[in-house]
Structure 1
Amino acid sequence: MSESADIQARDGNTMDIPISGDHRVREWLLGAATLALAWFAAAAVWAVPVLALLIWGTSWLPLGPLLFLVAVMARNTLTAHGPLPGRAVRPAAEPELAALVQDVAERLGFHEPLLVRVVPEVQAALGRARVSGVRSHVLVLGLPLLRTLTEAELASVIAHELAHGLHTNSRRAQLLRYARARLADRLDGRIRPLAPLAGPLLRASQPVLWRAETAADADAARIAGAGATAGALRRTELLHSVFAGLGEAWLSGLAEEEAYPEDFYDAVDAALADPQVARRAARAAAEEEALDPYATADHPPVAVRVAALPPHTGAQVYGDTPVRLRTAEPVERWCVLRLALLDGEEEEDVHPVRLLDMVHSQLRTLGDDTGSTLLRQATGRDDPAAAVSAALDSLADGTWQRLARRLEPGLRWAPAAIGGQLARTVFTAAVSRTLAEALLASGWTPAGRWLITALTPPAAGDRVVDVHQLVGEAVDSGDPAAPRTLLVSAQAKENAV
């Protein structure tokens, strides 16, 4: 299989493009209008030389390069090219995985040429490629899913993606997905002049994509069962949240030391098995789903998808343990290096470390610890307890969002619809981490190896206090009493010592 083969539809978290076929003209119009708006800024820039040529120019020849550029952009709208993602899975090397993919494809009625690739991230996707002149489909599966999901859950993921390949194979589908992605990119900056028009267009097209996602989920439930499909959806969401939280912190922290975590995936699995981490990941995922002011999300919330599943029992031929990977060791090493060498370093420039062998205090603090530093700077208090006290005062008098903007100046340019949610995230993270420092100094102990804000009070046995959740609930209620009680007890304990 050629590593330079072209692949199509590679925008977004998945390469599938779910589109309903019930309103084709409307979908074409939505795609065209969305793309036109996404290109508006570029069109405005081009308008100046074009008008100048029309008014003062004596030849149309200079318009040639511009027209050529427009044609190239239009072609790229429907076809994205690039090397195939991930690492190839050879059926001879992974017969169990190949057999599972083939079985699901046969039960679903998917008879197109199909290649399987493994990627390092939490991802599942279906794309189209031309390999040696033959049109094929490429099924991308993330290594975390292969390691963690049961055979039945993985079968549901494969069925979901192949269902998109069966039901979605149109140019209008590619246009609408591409146009939505481009317009969403235009809304990332501080100044969003297109937002008043972009929001209605994105909201109008979002139900089309959501309906197709739930339809693919229904196909997955028919093949693997509703229980396995729901389990796969929930576990994938948690895995993604842990990757985005702990995983990125580990990678960035070790990158500063020119190191990489050779046991990265083992550490992710171990962290996810911790109830505190699982609960934190679930809350973070729910908060992330709520941050969608312009309806750019192509997938419904997981809770909505699970509730919409039909009560199928599935083929009941798939197991309840992960599929065996015979090349697990080299595949895992390849994936870890891909994650760790994002900036293009050579492998010899970094050295391996083991996360699970680290001292727990070092592991908990690996990554970004600027929240506590920024809170002390923003409040003008050097002592962690005093900084937390000042922050809780701002919560009591209603000025905490101003403090959050001092912690993260970029909040000033956040969309109004989610500005409060983003401020809550910034404020909660900084205050909870700083409060945890004060509590640790007064004799509290960490409740595990992973989270610095999950603590056990002195002489409290197995009781665990999630300081991050406590501060978040205080922000939601506007009442700082609970975290202040912890702070006062910590200060009293420290003064007594």
Structure 2
Amino acid sequence: MDIRPSPLRTWSLTATLLSVAWLPQAVLVVALVGAALVWRAEWLLLAPAVALLAGPVRAAFGRGPLPGRALRPADEPELAALVRDVADRVGLRRPLLVRVVPDVQASLGPARVDGTPSYVLLLGLPLLRTLTEAELASVVAHELAHEQQARARGTALLGFARELLAERLAGFLRPLAPLAAPLLRASQPLVWRAELAADAQAARIAGGKAAVDALRRTAVLHAVYEGLGEAWWSALAEEDAFPEDFYDALDAALADPHVVARAARTAAADDAVDPYASAGHPPFARRIEALADAPEAAGTYGTAPLPLRTSAALARWCVRELAELEEVEVIDGEAARVRLLDLPDDRLHELGGTPGLDLLLRVTGEELPLHALTAVLDAVADGTGQQLARRLEPGLRWLDAEARAALAREVLTGAGTTALTAVLHAAGWTYAGRWLTSVLTAPDGRVVDLHALVGEAVDSGDTGPVRALLGPLADKEGARA
């Protein structure tokens, strides 16, 4: 599939994107040069000179070791065979190194090994443990497809320019936003076309179903990793501890359908927020729709995960890498080892986080969770939800309107869920599983996902279903509802 746009359009957009991205530095350099000339302070010219030299110096001397840990063919022959098969079918001729990283990612980058131009393929351990052989082949094929696209220097430079300009829009102050947003919006279809072409190649090699399943499973895995996984690490790091069975616990959590449903909702919500058109990938729904007519492969790859012969060693290495990021001392034995799978449910729920009940009580001025919940529901019903969300999360006021609305929904859903969970759990409802506190079992045996219920109320403005759950509790505690 030829995904190359007009070279003139590509280079024009790239030049404009880079010009806007470097505009603050250019203004600063002009100001320093002007000041040096006016005040005869030649030493002021040192700053721009140092800034100009910093980039080439870092490029020449700042190359560190390759990220991740090497996955050698002798250690993982099944994985090596799959990657080589996909590379041959894609037409990749350069040497390809495969390395494992701790988080949920897959990426391809250039490398030079003993002076030979090569590529390094990074694969996250959660992907290797979770994806089926066919889904993993799809992920690998997608990444290798970008190697072909990178041969068109204009396309690669356009992607770099977009990433650079998008970085300038991070933070509270975004003076470049009025200039950047139209440029990012104009260039986005070009990079999206490249992603859809990579998806099409993945489907051609691994089959349409495997490509779609890989997209869905990766999105869910990423959301669980960033949600539960990072909550575990953050909570234990405060106790100078680390989860030595982190990946086993992650696998166990992914077996819970409520965890998967919650992660799918989170991924879809995150996917919908792109205020400056800076996203380099199309929304998952659009990518899946584009694969609707993709043909199926003729049974080339299996439907079970590949065996990892060094799985235990890889997990230990990845846990140590994550512990280092959290500044937890593992090697010298100073940090406490915690096995998540051996913890009681209450302790797991504590580590998973019960965000913001004290904050919600303080912001609403209430003493009881039921009254605080009523305040949230009233705000949702009368249209003042965003104001309450800004009181709960003051940083929302600095965000773009689209991002502010999406994150306000997340804040209100989280606050309402926390309060509703506290009310119902105190009334005799029980936790339905080990991983989420927001899924409860009613006294009559019903299992209710409170997060989904509150989220629907925030989206629709109809708080009736949530209030109906409270039933006689509202009257009993004298709620204002």
TM bucket by the smaller chain?
over 0.9
Amino acid at match of 1:26: R
Amino acid at match of 1:294: Y
Q: What's the secondary structure of 1:356's corresponding residue? A: helix
Q: Say which of 29, 32, 35 aligns to 2:18.
A: 35
The separation in 2 between residues aligned to 1:31 and 1:55, in whole angstroms, is: 35
Q: State the partner residue of 1:486.
A: 469
Cα RMSD for the two superposed structures: 2.4
Amino acid at match of 2:134: A
Q: State the partner residue of 2:387.
A: 402
Q: State the partner residue of 1:209.
A: 191
Q: What's the secondary structure of 1:203's corresponding residue? A: helix
Q: State the partner residue of 1:246.
A: 228
The separation in 1 between residues aligned to 2:458 and 2:328, in whole angstroms, is: 42
The separation in 1 between residues aligned to 2:434 and 2:476, in whole angstroms, is: 24
Q: Deviations over 1:269-323 (max 9, x none)?
A: 2211211111111110010011110011101111211211242222522111111
Alignment of 1:51-450 (within 5 A): 51-57=34-40, 63=45, 66-67=48-49, 69-70=51-52, 72-73=54-55, 81-309=63-291, 310-347=293-330, 348-450=333-435
The separation in 1 between residues aligned to 2:247 and 2:115, in whole angstroms, is: 36
After alignment, is 35-44 or 295-304 more displaced? Answer: 35-44
Give structure 1 stretches of 5+ with no counterpart.
Answer: 1-17
Q: What's the secondary structure of 2:325's corresponding residue? A: coil
- Residue 184 of structure 1 and its aligned partner are, at CA, apart by 1.4
The separation in 2 between residues aligned to 1:106 and 1:420, in whole angstroms, is: 46
Normalised by the size of structure 1, how large is the TM-score? 0.90
- Residue 491 of structure 1 and its aligned partner are, at CA, apart by 4.4
Q: What's the secondary structure of 1:101's corresponding residue? A: helix
- Residue 204 of structure 1 and its aligned partner are, at CA, apart by 1.1
Give structure 2 stretches of 5+ with no counterpart.
Answer: none
Q: Deviations over 1:300-348 (max 9, x none)?
A: 1112112112422225221111111111101011112212321434312
Q: Does the CA contact (< 8 Å) of 1:20 and 1:209 recur in 2?
A: no
Q: Does the CA contact (< 8 Å) of 1:470 and 1:483 recur in 2?
A: yes
The separation in 2 between residues aligned to 1:71 and 1:343, in whole angstroms, is: 33
Q: Does the CA contact (< 8 Å) of 1:105 and 1:162 recur in 2?
A: yes
- Residue 208 of structure 1 and its aligned partner are, at CA, apart by 1.0
Q: Does the CA contact (< 8 Å) of 2:354 and 2:437 recur in 1?
A: no
After alignment, is 381-390 or 39-48 more displaced? Answer: 39-48
The separation in 2 between residues aligned to 1:336 and 1:457, in whole angstroms, is: 37
Residues 79, 163 of structure 1: CA spacing in aligned structure 2 closer, same or farther, 3 A cutoff?
farther
Normalised by the size of structure 2, how large is the TM-score? 0.93
- Residue 165 of structure 1 and its aligned partner are, at CA, apart by 0.8
Q: Does the CA contact (< 8 Å) of 2:107 and 2:122 recur in 1?
A: yes
Amino acid at match of 1:204: A
Residues 169, 83 of structure 1: CA spacing in aligned structure 2 closer, same or farther, 3 A cutoff?
farther
The separation in 2 between residues aligned to 1:351 and 1:19, in whole angstroms, is: 54
Q: Does the CA contact (< 8 Å) of 2:234 and 2:326 recur in 1?
A: no
Aligned length: 475
- Residue 143 of structure 1 and its aligned partner are, at CA, apart by 0.6
Q: What's the secondary structure of 1:200's corresponding residue? A: helix
Q: What's the secondary structure of 1:232's corresponding residue? A: helix
Q: Deviations over 1:121-158 (max 9, x none)?
A: 11110000112211110011111111111111111111
- Residue 160 of structure 1 and its aligned partner are, at CA, apart by 0.9
Residues 58, 478 of structure 1: CA spacing in aligned structure 2 closer, same or farther, 3 A cutoff?
closer
Q: What's the secondary structure of 2:112's corresponding residue? A: strand
Residues 281, 204 of structure 1: CA spacing in aligned structure 2 closer, same or farther, 3 A cutoff?
same
Q: Deviations over 1:201-243 (max 9, x none)?
A: 1111111111111111111111111111111111001100111
Amino acid at match of 1:383: L
Q: Does the CA contact (< 8 Å) of 1:19 and 1:173 recur in 2?
A: no
- Residue 385 of structure 1 and its aligned partner are, at CA, apart by 1.1
Q: State the partner residue of 2:456.
A: 473
The separation in 2 between residues aligned to 1:77 and 1:230, in whole angstroms, is: 38
- Residue 90 of structure 1 and its aligned partner are, at CA, apart by 0.9
The separation in 2 between residues aligned to 1:109 and 1:439, in whole angstroms, is: 58
Q: Does the CA contact (< 8 Å) of 1:32 and 1:175 recur in 2?
A: no
- Residue 65 of structure 1 and its aligned partner are, at CA, apart by 5.8
Residues 180, 76 of structure 1: CA spacing in aligned structure 2 closer, same or farther, 3 A cutoff?
farther
Residues 161, 424 of structure 1: CA spacing in aligned structure 2 closer, same or farther, 3 A cutoff?
same
Amino acid at match of 1:430: A
Q: What's the secondary structure of 1:349's corresponding residue? A: coil
Q: Does the CA contact (< 8 Å) of 1:259 and 1:353 recur in 2?
A: yes
Q: What's the secondary structure of 1:138's corresponding residue? A: strand
The separation in 2 between residues aligned to 1:421 and 1:221, in whole angstroms, is: 32
The separation in 1 between residues aligned to 2:401 and 2:183, in whole angstroms, is: 18
Amino acid at match of 1:467: L
Q: Does the CA contact (< 8 Å) of 1:77 and 1:179 recur in 2?
A: no
**4+ residue runs over 6 A deviation:** 74-80
Amino acid at match of 2:409: R
Q: Deviations over 1:370-429 (max 9, x none)?
A: 411111010011211111122222223222211111100001111012322211110110
After alignment, is 71-80 or 196-205 more displaced? Answer: 71-80
Q: Does the CA contact (< 8 Å) of 1:442 and 1:493 recur in 2?
A: no
Q: Does the CA contact (< 8 Å) of 1:267 and 1:356 recur in 2?
A: yes
The separation in 2 between residues aligned to 1:293 and 1:181, in whole angstroms, is: 15
Q: What's the secondary structure of 2:356's corresponding residue? A: helix
The separation in 2 between residues aligned to 1:51 and 1:491, in whole angstroms, is: 69
The separation in 2 between residues aligned to 1:54 and 1:376, in whole angstroms, is: 59
After alignment, is 233-242 or 249-258 more displaced? Answer: 249-258
How high is the sequence identity, in percent, across the aligned residues?
56
Residues 413, 77 of structure 1: CA spacing in aligned structure 2 closer, same or farther, 3 A cutoff?
farther
